[in-house]
Each structure stands twice: as structure tokens, then as C-alpha cells.
């Protein structure tokens, strides 16, 4: 498939990504305010005119497999034999 990308497409992508970043930052600010309010008041539900925000807390654990492998002196070739590699791609956009 041979698709041509023009400069307008690049600028549109940059604008969309910038808008998303701005919106995500604003969403995080509101979430932080809700968390603070929930911590102070014990309230867990916050109603707008259209949406309801619900606050909850939980604990999350993760295993540090690299530390375990080092502690047990697991050889690098054994780790490599059990390591899955997948291809990923990234498109980064910056201003000129």
C-alpha cells in the first residue's frame, strides 16, 4: 500500500496530539481535586449535570523479576531463552 502523507496531515496530527495533551492535563487536574475532596470528606460520588465521577482506592503490586533473577543468579542465556520480543513502532511529532 503506497500512501502519500502531505504536510497538512502532519500538522493535523500535531494539532490533535497537542489538544489531547492539553485535555489529559486538565483531566488529571480535575481527578486530583476529586481525590483531595474524597480524602477530606469521605465522599465517593460526585455528580455533574450529565456525568457521575466515582472515586475508589486500591493497592497494586508488581514483581521485580529482574531483581529476582539477579538474586537467584539466573544466567542471561536462560532469561533470553524465555524472553518474548515484539515489534513496536512510534510516531513522534514536534514543532518546527
Ranges of H-type helices in the chain: 7-41, 65-71, 76-81
Share of the chain above pLDDT 90, in %: 83
- Measured CA to CA, the distance from residue 56 to residue 32 in angstroms comes to 13
Q: pLDDT tens digit string along 25-80?
A: 999 999 999 999 999 999 999 999 999 999 999 999 999 999 999 999 999 999 99
Amino acid at each position: 500500500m503506497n500512501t502519500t502523507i502531505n504536510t497538512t496531515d502532519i500538522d493535523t496530527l500535531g494539532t490533535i496530539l497537542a489538544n489531547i495533551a492539553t485535555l489529559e492535563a486538565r483531566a488529571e487536574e480535575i481527578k486530583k481535586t476529586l481525590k483531595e475532596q474524597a480524602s477530606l470528606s469521605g465522599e465517593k460520588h460526585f455528580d455533574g449535570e450529565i456525568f457521575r465521577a466515582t472515586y475508589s482506592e486500591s493497592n497494586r503490586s508488581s514483581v521485580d523479576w529482574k531483581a529476582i533473577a539477579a538474586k537467584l543468579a539466573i544466567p542471561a542465556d536462560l532469561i533470553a531463552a524465555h524472553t518474548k520480543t515484539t515489534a513496536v513502532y512510534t510516531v513522534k511529532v514536534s514543532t518546527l
